[in-house]
Structure formats: structure tokens, C-alpha cells
């Protein structure tokens, strides 16, 4: 990473650094001249001129234009003074030597200027490349960021990396108002006065704080982020020096990129909210429609049947039959209410699983008794493993699970077929299977069976399509799983697995009474 990119030195050190460059140039030229003194007596002072030219070009590749010009001038003078005869004077005798001296001077100058220019251009290109890389990196990371929070982090991280500045981003709250001060106060990053400046920058969309026209006495600078459809917020940085031209360009590009990314995230969130509302609206309507249907049918039965009993002199037999209908309708209503309550318990998340040790026999007895009427038309078979240990479950929830599954079977399976319930304990798991000999589920629909409001045409009327999704919810609340499959010879099969260790029971002293 470009560590020294944009590194700045305070002015005093910068000055001494410059002086050092000049001194170094002078020293190098002087040392070269000294080393060439053995050649001064011969006629080979031309060689010395080449050596000096070489040194000047060499200096040009590593030093700035100033030191190089000094080196060029110095080497010309040194060459003249020490090497061109007569020695130790600036006087030149031969006309060709005057020509040589002039040419040496020009070549050294041009050489120095051209080389430094090339080097400077190369340096600029390198800086440009670093800037491009920085920008590329920022854009890449911003596009990968998922959500406002992540994008904000990417932005502050990159600002820190390339500008060596601690940045803090104050976002708007999603309704084009800056997030309230109370939220920021907890971070202790901004004080109230700074928040006011940020607010100003956000509302007026102009830079504020240090190095700006507004509240410039402040030590932090506030840059508003501008978007095309909404303005995401304000970037606050504490910078020691004003950014120079080149940095300013990069900073503005950073700002634009960050603004765009955050704007995108804000808009995305907004769109998601709208989608969510649409979805819940749709669910609400489905629920409302099917509830009114589900309520009307039994209520109509109750109204019609009781009205007949009250107003007509129907026979005892008819009356008793009608009463039976009323009773059935009330059971159906009760089931509906039960499912709605359970669904809302699940949806609200405000329900707890109360695990305790239970005897599966008790549970299945209870279910069998409660459903005796519904199951009377079927061959209901129960198989509980003889070695069945106690299981750790929420009795009420699992009761509801089995109740819903068995009711489901009675709704689809034809009369006089077998509905079987089995329970066993295997590998620290309670395994319950419920099978029927009904039509099963269409293969393509198997994956949707546990979805809310899922219904296939039932042999008997009724149901909101909530029963099985409640089953799944309750089983998952036990950290268990439920699977559905079609049996080979027709019918559906539900398999429940609930983790349940065997109970720890210490042997107790107990005497037998005779």
C-alpha cells in the first residue's frame, strides 16, 4: 500500500531537506573534481568534462531541478578553473577551449533539465496510478459492501488508508433528516456544536468547518455527501493541513463515490421496505379472506341449525342431528381460533418452550382421547417402543403438533383406512412417525407443505392452511426437524426428530411394603 503517498512534512524540515539536496549536489561535484585532479596535468581534461557531465546527468535522475542546475554550473566552473589550461584561473586561452566550455555549460544544463523533467513525469504517472488504484479499490469495496453500515465502514477505512485521516460519517435517518444527536452522542465522536455544523453542511449542501467559509475556526471539516435522489449525510474529518490541488481532486472523487454508494444503499433499503409492506399486505389479505370464509361456514351452520330447532316442530331425531351439526361446527371454530392463536404466538416470537420430562404414553393417550371422534372412522394404530424412555419436550406444543398432523390426515385420507402413529428413541433422538393411506401430496408440492396458507384440495372442507406451518414452527422451537414424504403405496408420511437425551435418574432407596 502506498505508505508515503501524500506524506507531508512541516515547513521547517522541508527547508532543511532542500538545503541538504543542494549541499549533496555540491559535495558530489567537488569530490568528483578532486578525484579527477590526477588527470589535470595531462592533455586529457576533455575526459574530465565527460566525467563531470556524467555526474550531472546522474544527479538529475535522483534530485530536483535546483540542485541539478547548481551542479551543472559548479561543474562547468570547476572544469574551467582546475582543468582547462591555464590552471587555477577562469581564463581560457585556446579558442576551441572557449567553445568547449560554452558547449559543456549548455549540455550540462540541458541534460539536467531534460532528465529531471522525465523523472518528474514518471513520478506524476506513478502518483496518478496510485490514485487510480486507490479509487479503484474504494469503488470495488463499496460495490461489495452489503448494507449502509458496511458501506460506511469501507468509506472510513479507505479515507484512513489513503488520506491518513480519521473520518466520521453522520448519516441521515432514511427520511432526509440527519440522524438525531442522541444516537451520535453515544459514540462520543461529535459534540453538540459539531453536530450543528454537520447539520448545516447537510442542509445547505456546502462544506463547513476548517478550511471552508463557514465556522472555519473549527478544527474539523464537514463535507456534505450529495446524491442524485437523496443526500446520504456528512463526512467529518480532522485534517492538519488543507488538501493540495491533486489531493483535492482525489478527495472529491472519493466523496462522490462514497455518496453514490451510500445513496444506493439507502434507496435499496427503501425499496426493500416497500417490498416487505407489499408482502405483508398480501399475506394480510389472504389471511383475512380465508378467515372470513372459515368463520362464516361454521357460524352459518350454527345459525341455521339452531334456528330450525327453535322455530320448527321437527322430530326429536332431526333435532338431535342438527345439534350434532352445531357441535361439529363449534369444534371447527375452536380449531380455527387455536391455530390463529398459535400462529400469532409463533410470529410474535413471544413464546417459550417449557421443556420437562414426559412419558410418551401419556401424550399419545391424551391425543387419542381428544381426537376419538375424528379418528373413529379410521383404523388408528399406535406403536410405542417398549423401551421408550422419558422424553424432554414441551407437552403442550408437541400435543398441538400431533393434533394438527392427525387432523390433517383425517382431512385427506378416506374412511376405513389406516392412520398410524409410532414413537421410538434412537441416537438421543425422539422419533415420531405419522402415516396415512390418503392420496399423499403432489410431488411438486412436497417442498411447500409447511408453508403458511398451503392447501391442497381437501376431501373434507376447511382449514386455513396454517396447521402444518405451526407444526413446523413448534418442532423447530424444540431444535427438531420434520420431513414429509409420500409412501410407496400411497399416502403421506411425516417424520419428526427431536433431540432428547435419556433422563438421568439416580437409584433411590426404596423399600417394598409387604
Partner 1 sequence: MNENEKILIIDDELQIRRLLEITLSASGYKIIQSVNGKEALVDAATHNPSLIILDLGLPDIDGQDILKKLREWFTKPIIILSVRDSEDEIINALDNGANDYLTKPFRSGELLARIRAAIRSIENTSDTATLSFESITIDLQSHTVKKNNELLKLTATEFSILSLLAKNRGRVLTHQYILKEIWGHGYSNQTQYLRVFVAQLRKKIEDNPSKPTLLITESGIGYRFAE
Which stretches of the chain bind partner 1, using CB under 8 A? 330, 334, 354, 356-359, 361-363, 365-366, 384, 390, 394-396, 399, 503-505, 508, 510-514
Backbone angles phi, psi at 483, to 5 degrees: -125, 150
Nearer CB in complex with partner 1: 188/513: 513
Minimum CB separation of residue 396 from partner 1 in Å reads 5
Minimum CB separation of residue 490 from partner 1 in Å reads 30
465502514: which residue's cell?
Answer: 153
Minimum CB separation of residue 509 from partner 1 in Å reads 9
Buried b (16+ CB within 10 A) or exposed e, 261-298: bbbbbbeeeeeeeeeeeeeeeeeeeebeebeeebeebb
Taken in order 370, 376, 380, 384, the sign of the CA dihedral is: positive
Nearer CB in complex with partner 1: 363/482: 363
Contact in structure between 171 and 237 (CB atoms under 8 Å): no
Nearer CB in complex with partner 1: 292/334: 334
Nearer CB in complex with partner 1: 394/437: 394
Minimum CB separation of residue 320 from partner 1 in Å reads 15
d(CA 251, CA 255): 6
Nearer CB in complex with partner 1: 488/514: 514
**Would you list the DSSP string of 355-392?**
-EEE-HHHHHHHHHHHTHHHHTTSEEEEEE-TT---EE
Minimum CB separation of residue 380 from partner 1 in Å reads 13
Give strand ranges (E) for 366-471.
379-384, 391-393, 418-426, 429-435
Contact in structure between 419 and 436 (CB atoms under 8 Å): yes
Nearer CB in complex with partner 1: 263/394: 394
d(CA 502, CA 500): 7
Nearer CB in complex with partner 1: 12/508: 508
Minimum CB separation of residue 392 from partner 1 in Å reads 9
d(CA 259, CA 169): 11
Minimum CB separation of residue 409 from partner 1 in Å reads 21
Distance, CA of 427 to chain centre = 38
Nearer CB in complex with partner 1: 106/341: 341
Minimum CB separation of residue 301 from partner 1 in Å reads 16
Backbone angles phi, psi at 71, to 5 degrees: -60, -40
d(CA 367, CA 371): 6
Nearer CB in complex with partner 1: 208/402: 402
Minimum CB separation of residue 405 from partner 1 in Å reads 17
d(CA 206, CA 219): 17
CA 88 vs CA 51, 199, 201: distances in Å: 19, 74, 70
Contact in structure between 342 and 470 (CB atoms under 8 Å): yes
Amino acid at each position: 500500500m502506498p505508505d508515503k503517498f501524500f506524506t507531508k512534512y512541516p515547513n521547517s524540515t522541508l527547508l532543511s531537506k532542500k538545503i541538504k539536496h543542494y549541499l549533496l549536489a555540491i559535495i558530489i561535484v567537488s569530490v568528483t573534481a578532486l578525484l579527477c585532479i590526477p588527470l589535470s596535468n595531462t592533455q586529457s581534461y576533455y575526459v574530465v568534462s565527460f566525467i563531470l557531465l556524467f555526474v550531472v546527468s546522474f544527479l538529475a535522475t535522483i534530485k530536483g531541478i535546483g540542485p541539478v542546475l547548481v551542479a551543472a554550473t559548479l561543474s562547468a566552473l570547476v572544469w574551467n578553473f582546475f582543468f582547462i589550461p591555464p590552471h587555477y584561473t577562469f581564463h581560457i586561452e585556446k579558442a576551441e577551449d572557449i567553445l568547449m566550455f560554452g558547449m559543456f555549460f549548455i549540455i550540462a544544463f540541458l541534460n539536467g533539465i531534460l532528465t529531471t523533467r522525465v523523472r518528474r513525469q514518471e513520478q506524476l504517472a506513478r502518483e496518478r496510478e496510485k490514485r487510480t488504484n486507490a479509487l479503484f479499490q474504494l469503488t470495488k469495496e463499496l460495490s461489495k459492501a452489503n448494507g449502509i453500515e458496511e458501506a460506511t465502514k469501507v468509506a472510513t477505512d479507505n479515507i484512513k488508508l489513503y488520506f491518513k485521516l480519521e473520518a466520521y460519517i453522520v448519516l441521515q435517518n432514511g427520511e432526509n433528516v440527519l440522524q438525531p444527536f442522541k444516537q451520535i452522542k453515544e459514540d462520543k465522536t461529535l459534540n453538540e456544536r459539531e453536530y450543528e455544523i454537520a447539520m448545516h453542511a447537510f442542509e445547505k449542501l456546502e462544506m463547513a468547518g476548517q478550511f471552508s467559509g463557514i465556522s472555519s475556526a473549527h478544527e474539523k471539516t464537514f463535507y456534505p455527501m450529495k446524491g442524485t435522489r437523496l443526500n446520504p449525510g456528512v463526512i467529518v474529518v480532522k485534517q492538519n493541513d488543507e488538501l493540495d490541488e491533486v489531493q483535492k481532486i482525489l478527495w472529491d472523487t472519493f466523496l462522490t463515490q462514497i455518496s453514490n454508494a451510500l445513496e444506493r444503499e439507502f434507496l435499496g433499503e427503501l425499496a426493500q421496505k416497500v417490498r416487505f409492506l407489499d408482502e405483508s399486505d398480501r399475506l394480510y389479505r389472504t389471511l383475512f379472506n380465508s378467515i372470513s370464509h372459515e368463520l362464516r361456514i361454521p357460524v352459518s351452520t350454527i345459525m341455521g341449525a339452531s334456528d330450525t330447532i327453535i322455530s320448527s316442530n321437527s322430530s326429536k331425531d332431526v333435532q338431535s342431528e342438527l345439534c350434532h351439526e352445531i357441535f361439529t361446527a363449534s369444534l371447527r371454530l375452536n380449531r380455527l381460533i387455536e391455530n390463529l392463536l398459535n400462529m400469532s404466538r409463533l410470529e410474535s416470537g413471544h413464546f417459550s418452550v417449557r421443556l420437562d420430562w414426559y412419558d410418551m404414553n401419556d401424550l399419545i393417550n391424551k391425543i387419542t382421547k381428544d381426537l376419538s371422534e375424528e379418528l373413529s372412522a379410521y383404523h388408528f394404530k399406535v406403536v410405542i417402543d417398549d423401551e421408550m424412555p422419558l422424553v424432554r419436550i414441551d407437552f403442550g406444543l408437541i400435543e398441538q403438533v400431533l393434533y394438527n398432523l392427525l387432523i390433517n390426515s383425517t382431512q385427506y385420507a378416506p374412511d376405513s383406512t389406516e392412520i398410524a402413529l409410532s414413537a421410538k428413541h434412537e441416537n438421543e433422538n425422539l422419533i415420531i412417525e405419522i402415516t396415512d393411506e390418503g392420496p399423499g401430496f403432489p410431488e411438486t408440492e412436497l417442498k411447500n407443505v409447511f408453508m403458511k396458507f398451503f392447501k391442497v384440495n381437501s376431501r373434507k372442507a376447511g382449514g386455513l392452511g396454517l396447521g402444518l406451518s405451526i407444526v413446523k414452527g413448534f418442532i423447530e422451537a424444540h431444535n427438531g426437524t420434520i420431513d414429509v414424504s409420500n409412501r410407496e403405496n400411497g399416502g403421506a408420511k411425516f417424520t419428526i426428530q427431536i433431540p432428547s437425551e435419556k433422563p438421568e435418574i439416580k437409584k433411590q432407596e426404596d423399600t417394598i411394603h409387604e
